[in-house]
Structure 1
Amino acid sequence: MQKLREAGLHPEQMLAQLPAFVARIEALAREMDLSLTAYQADHLALRVNDREIAEALHQAWLAYGEEWSRTMINGRPIVVIGFDQPLQVGPWQIEALELPYPGEKQYPQQGWEHIEFVIPSEAGTTDALKAALDETFPTLPWDELAAKGIKVKASSPAGEHERLPNPTYAFKKEGVCIKLHPCSLKAVIESEAGDS
């Protein structure tokens, strides 16, 4: 635990940093003309570069909830912990934490990295999700994002037993990322459970 405190990554420290992180998420959303208050913020994600720290974080966050899943994605474990009490963060109640163990990539900073929002739709591909987002957020200025320094990435991450397609759009600027997807992490995990 001492190593976590020294790195500023102990859950108590992370929770204290959450309001400032959420303010940066809200600022990024405003910059994209994206009103997310009506949508579910279903999970927060951390990024760490050290496996030993990831293991310590994994154990430390279990004091706040229970492990919903541990799935191999791109060759590394991604752990999801569902909170006993959802975190009240701004207008949102967040029910889970995503903790990816480190892979090849080194992050410039460790700590909070993104919040993922559920924009309900039947989209099963990134193209279908883009169409759904265009309909939901007609003023989202796709063509201007690069000029604002906002990187956009579409992906379809999947665990080995997932049955529910969950394409994702990520919007990233200065170490903060908003991800939009059609299904909650809980629904995706439940789709995996149906496979066993």
Structure 2
Amino acid sequence: MSMVVASVGPQFAIISGDTRALEKDTRKVVSEDYHKVYKLNDNVLIGFVGTGTPIQRLKDKFGYQIDNKIFADEFAKEFFELMKSNYIEDEYAVLIVGKMKNGNGWCTGFNQLSEKMDTAKQFTEDLDMFFLWPDNEKVDYSDMQSSQIKKVAGIVHHAKNVKRAVEEISTSVTYLIQEVSKEVDSVNKNIVTYNLIF
């Protein structure tokens, strides 16, 4: 699997991911430039880990752009239903972050076994972070995750404006993914990041 990290607050959403793709059975590197995160419009960011099935569904149904009138929670419901109705026994997880119609930040996540979008949440005052970690039982990421959340909370609290906070969070998340890439062969140091400021 790969690594995708998202951070959402009342005025922003960020998603970052590495770009390495492995062949499922042999784990041989097949690409160092395989995008797992996308900016679909001015309201919606999406990221994937695992097999490329969700990326293919996205491309087939929507291309890589959607109408700017569609908000994150609306798109997430549609994409979730698309994945459920075209079920394939693959391993994947999806994060969708962005802006709701009411202007607040929002995030949801689901995987191939989800019966519902299980982390759906609206953000009004607090920010939160979501991690799709590499599938590697030898490494425990809980301390790294906890410290990253504290660091991002500090950035948002002390930043003079949202734009500056987003820049600092992007830098911090890039560093985090690059550190993980030193331990895990399915993650590389090439990071793609998209952000929205509401």
Q: Report the TM-score when normalising by structure 1.
A: 0.25
Highest RCO, 1 vs 2 (Cα 8 Å, sep ≥ 6):
2
Q: Normalising to structure 2: TM-score of the pair?
A: 0.25
Q: Which has the higher strand share?
A: 1
